[in-house]
Structure 1
Amino acid sequence: MPAYRDESGNKTWYCRFYYTNEMSFREFFELYKRDRKPRIRENTWRTKEAIVNQKIFPYIGDLMLNDISDVTIIQWQNELMKIKDKSGKNYSPTHLRTIHAQLSSILNHACRYYNLKTNVARDFGSMGEKEADEMLFGTKDEYERFVEAIKDKPESFYAFELLYWCGLRMGELLALTKEKFDFERHTLKIDESLQRIDGKNVITASKTKKV
């Protein structure tokens, strides 16, 4: 198969018509990583990669892409649904669905750009549930009682005011600087988020569009 090795000695494929015929899932993921990682936030990519390493590679990593079948998917799903965490609980339905979505997105990339004939993960169907468990939210009255109790602590008071009334994520709050505040126009620019990566604080683009 046409290929060459980069400076690290890793095999690099370059003829797209051969990818899905002669590549394992593990090999294709390196290609997917090359294509997608530069376009995804660092923390988001790390989550995706951890799921692949821990929940997909052990089961289908060494299978050729064209050998991943409906039977492969159902057996893989069944194995994941049996796994229990440290507290003895099975993975939540939403977590199972997230794991399946990662596999499906990788195979979809292979179909869209590298001639894989079909995405069996998508065609077979997902596992788990789309909606998360019901979340409990405090009422406005509860928040006002809470904030009243901390109004003598200015830093905490204004931090919670921003979180509550502006709908900020914690990382977005921690990335704020004085330049983000326009007191003449009464606006606040939210376009960055603080992430903890490898023990270091890193400023990244906000998860959502600038507001």
Structure 2
Amino acid sequence: MPSYYDNKTKNWYCIFYYTDWTGTRKQKKKRGFERKKDAQEWERDFLQRQAAQPDMPFSTLSELYLKDKEQNTKFATYRVHKMRVDTWLLPVFGNRPINAIMPVDVRNWQGYLKTAISAQNKPLSDGYRHDLFVELSGVFNFAMRFYGLSVNPCKVVGNTPVKHKKKLNFWTKEEFDRFLSTFDAADPFRMAYLTLYYTGMRIGELQALTAPDVDTEAGTITISKTYHRKYGVEMITTPKTPKANRTITIPKFLCAALQEYINKIYQPDADTRIFPYSHSGYTDAFRSHTKKAGVKLIRLHGLRHSHASLLIELGFSVLLISERLGHENVSTTLNIYAHLFPSKQSEVAEKLDLLQTK
């Protein structure tokens, strides 16, 4: 692994050949190292990333894993993966070779999580520890699939069962009405929250809406994009999942309110976002008016849960609710809201009795 000294720049550089993932042989050159040792280490690390041997450090594997997530998931989802890896995986497994991480190491890490404290100075919940284990297992599965790792140590250990599901916080219609009453009629934030509550759309989907997406004559809103910021740059992309592309019907009073709201926007074109404020702007106003209304504090995303609970209360089917929310499948809807559906067991028994008496 030779390195060379550049008399002009007074720095070391490395130059070598490697084979990329397509099988193409290429030359790589890197300059600017103060020491020969630094140039050699950089070349060794680069070749290791390319060859991706199973004994690569966990830090290298996690970097490859996160790069794959960045390329193949939505940015918001990628950020969740990165935060979990950076905060809870790298500090423990760091530069250890991945094929040297044993099931007992994973088991010890699970024990560490039971006493760990979050950034909010609170113990980690059962659900969050479960999610972290799934993340670690995902990293090892990635290594097995693409880089020849033979065994996922997480599969040997097994996950800790989640004893209690995370509490679902939402508002009743009475609570939402109290919240909405704290706004002036012309406040644009009022229109945003009204739309979120009666459609169940995600905040990014709301922020991406343009005037052509709202068809007040047909009484529909078409959701075909989402808004987010990536490294400080505003971006409009496709929705979270394919099923999130949807057209939902809206009540007449919301049609009228949206039409009046859009009419007040100065010379909007087809690309003008009708809800242009930042996520933090909507969150801050939401918290402020929640306090004014004297209702329990929920997350802004809780308006989506509130919409779902309202539909359940009104007796709509899980399939319709799943389609309206843009879930990828009905099982997602059931996993979140199954406990809100009223039990029909006694009704089943009664109807079976009626069959027997006929």
Measured against the shorter chain, the TM-score band is: 0.7 to 0.9
Residues 33 and 198 (structure 1 numbering): CA distance in 2 closer, same or farther, change over 3 Å? closer
Q: Which amino acid aligns with 2:112?
A: E
Q: Is the 8 A contact 2:133 2:159 kept in 1?
A: yes
Q: What's the counterpart of residue 19 of structure 1?
A: 53
TM score, norm. by length of structure 1:
0.81
Query: Deviations along 1:19-57, whole A, 9 cap, x unmatched?
Result: 21x312112223323433211112221221222122111
Q: Distance in 1 between matches of 2:208 and 2:110?
A: 39
Q: Distance in 1 between matches of 2:120 and 2:194?
A: 36
Q: Distance in 1 between matches of 2:67 and 2:168?
A: 37
Residues 127 and 202 (structure 1 numbering): CA distance in 2 closer, same or farther, change over 3 Å? farther
Q: Distance in 2 between matches of 1:34 and 1:130?
A: 33
Q: Distance in 2 between matches of 1:210 and 1:116?
A: 37
Q: Which amino acid aligns with 2:96?
A: L
How far residue 210 of structure 1 moved from its aligned partner, in angstroms, is 0.8
Q: Distance in 1 between matches of 2:206 and 2:234?
A: 13
Q: What's the counterpart of residue 185 of structure 2?
A: 152
- The yes-or-no answer on 1:105 pairing with 2:138 is yes
Give the alignment of 1:38-187 within 5 angstroms.
38-85=71-118, 88-127=121-160, 129=162, 132-147=165-180, 150=183, 152-153=185-186, 155-187=188-220
How far residue 86 of structure 1 moved from its aligned partner, in angstroms, is 5.2
Gaps of 5+ in 2: 1-16, 19-26, 31-41, 247-358
Q: Secondary structure at the match of 1:28?
A: helix
Q: How many residues align?
A: 206
Larger radius of gyration: 2
Q: Distance in 1 between matches of 2:84 and 2:115?
A: 16
Q: Secondary structure at the match of 1:202?
A: strand
Q: Which amino acid aligns with 2:74?
A: R
Residues 107 and 167 (structure 1 numbering): CA distance in 2 closer, same or farther, change over 3 Å? same
Query: Deviations along 1:75-123, whole A, 9 cap, x unmatched?
Result: 1112222222355421122221221111111111122232221211133
RMSD: 2.8
Gaps of 5+ in 1: none
Q: Is the 8 A contact 1:25 1:60 kept in 2?
A: yes
Q: Distance in 1 between matches of 2:179 and 2:209?
A: 23
Q: Distance in 2 between matches of 1:128 and 1:201?
A: 39
Q: Distance in 1 between matches of 2:75 and 2:28?
A: 24
How far residue 163 of structure 1 moved from its aligned partner, in angstroms, is 0.5
> Percent identical across equivalent pairs?
28
Q: What's the counterpart of residue 194 of structure 1?
A: 227
Residues 112 and 131 (structure 1 numbering): CA distance in 2 closer, same or farther, change over 3 Å? farther
Moved more, 96-105 or 124-133: 124-133
Q: Distance in 2 between matches of 1:23 and 1:109?
A: 13
Q: Distance in 2 between matches of 1:146 and 1:31?
A: 45
Q: Which amino acid aligns with 2:117?
A: K
Residues 120 and 6 (structure 1 numbering): CA distance in 2 closer, same or farther, change over 3 Å? farther
Task: For CA contacts below 8 A with separation 6 or more, give which structure has more relative contact order.
Answer: 1
Q: Is the 8 A contact 2:66 2:81 kept in 1?
A: no
- The yes-or-no answer on 1:210 pairing with 2:250 is no
Q: What's the counterpart of residue 61 of structure 2?
A: 28
TM score, norm. by length of structure 2:
0.51
Residues 38 and 7 (structure 1 numbering): CA distance in 2 closer, same or farther, change over 3 Å? farther
